[in-house]
Amino acid sequence: MSGGVRDQIQQALVDAVRGLGVEGDIPDLELGRAKVAGRGDYASSAGLKLARQLRQDPKAIAVRVAETVTVPEGAASAQADNGYVNFRLTDGWLRRLVAHVASGAGRYGARDLGRAERLQVEFGSVNPTGPLHIGHGRGVTLGDSICRLLTFTGHQVQREYYVNSDNTQTRRFGASVYARLHGVEPPEGGYTGDYVKELAEMARHDLPGIGDLPEEEAEPKLRMYAIDRMVDRIKATVARVNVRYDEWYYENRLWESGLPQAAIDRLRESGNIKEREGALWFGEPDDEEEDRVVIRANGQPTYFASDLGYLLNRFEQRGFNRVVEVWAADHHGYVPRMKSAVAALGFDEQKLVVILHQMVNLKEGKMSKRAGRFVTLDELIDRVGSDAVRYFYLLRSPDTTIEFDLELAVTQGNENPVYYAQYAHARLTNVEGAAKERHSQLPENANVGLLTQPWELDVARQLAFWPDVIEDATLLLEPHRIPYYVHDLATAVHRFYHAGNAQSDHRVVVDDVALTRARLELCRAARHTLKTALDLMGVSAPERM
């Protein structure tokens, strides 16, 4: 029962279709949630899908499928309807599901979709040259929830932040700190925020004699010092939204291990490295169109060189089967280049999975990190709280640009959907206490057969859908499906609870201890599932509000 009932129905459908004598490939039977009320819980267009192949009337096919299909455990009954086959979850199965989920201690929905696959998710890896702003928050929460999902579904996940330390931007950063140390303005293109002045003062204190060194010697020291301080700050910020990393992987480790050079050597052998205009380029052997510089004419490598080494590091040295990259959409042009680099290095392109998310804009105007004008993620958390920040980010598909309306975000009220879900959880927790106060002795086991009201079975019905959501969200790497599910489950919970407000014998806690116990079973099942879903979002599940 721990797998999804949808999968069981799917398999039963295929078996039934085979029973009709269909051989070879079976087309997608389009099993999905029934969208029209009164037509059941799941629907398949099996009749329509098979009509051509069988050269028969879709309605007749659907009738035969519905007559012969057998869903395991009597979980669902089938009815043919105009070429469709509709499935209705049976009350008996829903009741058993309640007992199953209640005893599952929050593991319901967990499935082994990963078979212990080792994979790395790299996310949030912003140049450590300033604090995270509200755009970065999206990548951080998205990446984190993807990790939570993958872990929940049987993958071995490593969460990594790649710390740039040797590129042009971080050098400018170091030079900017150097300038502030000597009381002058940062150079053109440098970082002008006040935090750079603070870093300079901290460095003056922590690095004795730093002010006496010439820039060539001072800048690398100041840069690494400042990067470490920024990494500390970024760690603290992401911790506020319940994000932690397994590894903060510094770019300079790549250079020390010689991996970028090794990668370049390998690509030279495969014909993907060419010399032109004094620089080294990466590209297809017989095509200059898409070539990109790896080593500049001045001998300095580009970020692309370190990324090549980083690929070797992860796929060979550390042996990840897949690497998931979470990038903001302004990096989309980099995806084909990285994919072709993966292939040219001799790996399967599919092993590099890139999740792009659209930008986060402020209605007030654009952000500019270098100018030091931005709304930081810290400020956003201060204003609306960690839970709302995470829920708000995760609610949206990565493909949607977020137009951040600060005025709206700072108003705390019932327009904030996170409270709706948390309130459902708090109510369920509260009623448990109320039951214990009212009945000193409750039966050890619940008789779920006493759950007969439609609003009770509707809660169970929502629970039945949870494994489907987990499966879809995992395979598509789309965490935004979770908050939408949470809302649906919370709605069913609120209706169930409210039935007791309308009529007191529909309360959870009633005189009948057996009935109370059965309803508590439902409460526990729903509460565990809400908690699990909120955990996957990194949102708290309060016990009282």
Partner RNA sequence: GCCCCGCUAGCUCAGUGGAUAGAGCAUCUGUCUUCUAAACAGAGGGUCGGGGGUUCGAAUCCCUCGCGGGGCACCA
Residues from 303 through 322 that contact RNA (CB under 7 A): 303-304
* Pair of tokens at residue 377: 């993620």
Q: Which is nearer to RNA, 297 or 371 (CB)?
A: 297
Question: Is residue 244 at the binding interface for RNA, with CB under 7 A as the rule?
Answer: no
- Cα separation of 473 and 477, whole Å? 5
Question: Is residue 469 at the binding interface for RNA, with CB under 7 A as the rule?
Answer: no
Question: Is residue 495 at the binding interface for RNA, with CB under 7 A as the rule?
Answer: yes
Question: Is residue 273 at the binding interface for RNA, with CB under 7 A as the rule?
Answer: no
Q: Which is nearer to RNA, 43 or 312 (CB)?
A: 43
Q: Which is nearer to RNA, 426 or 530 (CB)?
A: 426
Q: Which is nearer to RNA, 6 or 96 (CB)?
A: 6
Q: Which helix (H) or strand (E) holds 451?
A: none
Residue in 358, 376, 462, 474 binding RNA, rule: CB under 7 A:
358
Min CB(104)–RNA separation in Å: 23
Q: Which helix (H) or strand (E) holds 252?
A: helix 251-257
Residues whose CB falls within 8 Å of the CB of residue 444, separated by 6 or more in sequence, listed in order: none
**Residue for token digits 């006040």?**
194
Residue in 401, 436, 449, 452 binding RNA, rule: CB under 7 A:
401
Residue in 53, 168, 340, 540 binding RNA, rule: CB under 7 A:
168
Which segment (82-90, 101-109, 152-160, 378-386) binds RNA by CB under 7 A? 82-90
Ranges within 85-124 binding RNA (CB under 7 A): 86
Which three-class secondary structure state does DSSP give residue 249?
A: strand
Which three-class secondary structure state does DSSP give residue 355?
A: strand
5 touches 89 (CB < 8 A): yes
Ranges within 405-434 binding RNA (CB under 7 A): 412-415, 417, 419-420, 423, 426-427, 429-431, 434
Give Cα 514 to chain centroid, integer Å: 41
Instruction: Give the Cβ contact number of residue 89 at 10 Å.
Output: 23
Ranges within 498-527 binding RNA (CB under 7 A): 498-502, 504, 506-509
Please, where are the H alpha helices in 326-444? 335-344, 377-384, 386-394, 406-410, 417-438
Q: Which is nearer to RNA, 163 or 210 (CB)?
A: 163
Question: Is residue 541 at the binding interface for RNA, with CB under 7 A as the rule?
Answer: no
Q: Which is nearer to RNA, 33 or 107 (CB)?
A: 33
Q: Which is nearer to RNA, 210 or 469 (CB)?
A: 469
Task: Catalogue the long-range contacts made by 254-258 (C-beta closer than 8 Å, 24 or more residues apart).
Answer: 254/306, 254/309, 254/310, 254/313, 255/166, 255/306, 255/309, 257/309, 257/313
Question: Is residue 278 at the binding interface for RNA, with CB under 7 A as the rule?
Answer: yes
Which segment (133-141, 196-204, 296-304, 379-387) binds RNA by CB under 7 A? 296-304
* Pair of tokens at residue 282: 């990466």
Q: At residue 84, what are phi and psi to the nearest 5 degrees?
A: -100, 155
Min CB(168)–RNA separation in Å: 4
- Cα separation of 77 and 83, whole Å? 16
| Residue from 533, 441, 540 nearest 484 by CA | 533
Residue in 59, 221, 296, 531 binding RNA, rule: CB under 7 A:
296
Ranges within 148-167 binding RNA (CB under 7 A): 164, 167
* Pair of tokens at residue 534: 């909120």
Give, rounded to a whole angstrom, the gap between the first and last alpha carbons of the chain.
33
Question: Is residue 491 at the binding interface for RNA, with CB under 7 A as the rule?
Answer: yes
Question: Is residue 439 at the binding interface for RNA, with CB under 7 A as the rule?
Answer: no
Count of chain residues binding RNA (CB under 7 A): 92
* Pair of tokens at residue 90: 């049976």
Question: Is residue 494 at the binding interface for RNA, with CB under 7 A as the rule?
Answer: yes
Question: Partners of 156 in the beta sheet?
Answer: 118
> x/- string (CB under 7 A) for RNA, residues 201-220?
--------------------
Min CB(118)–RNA separation in Å: 25
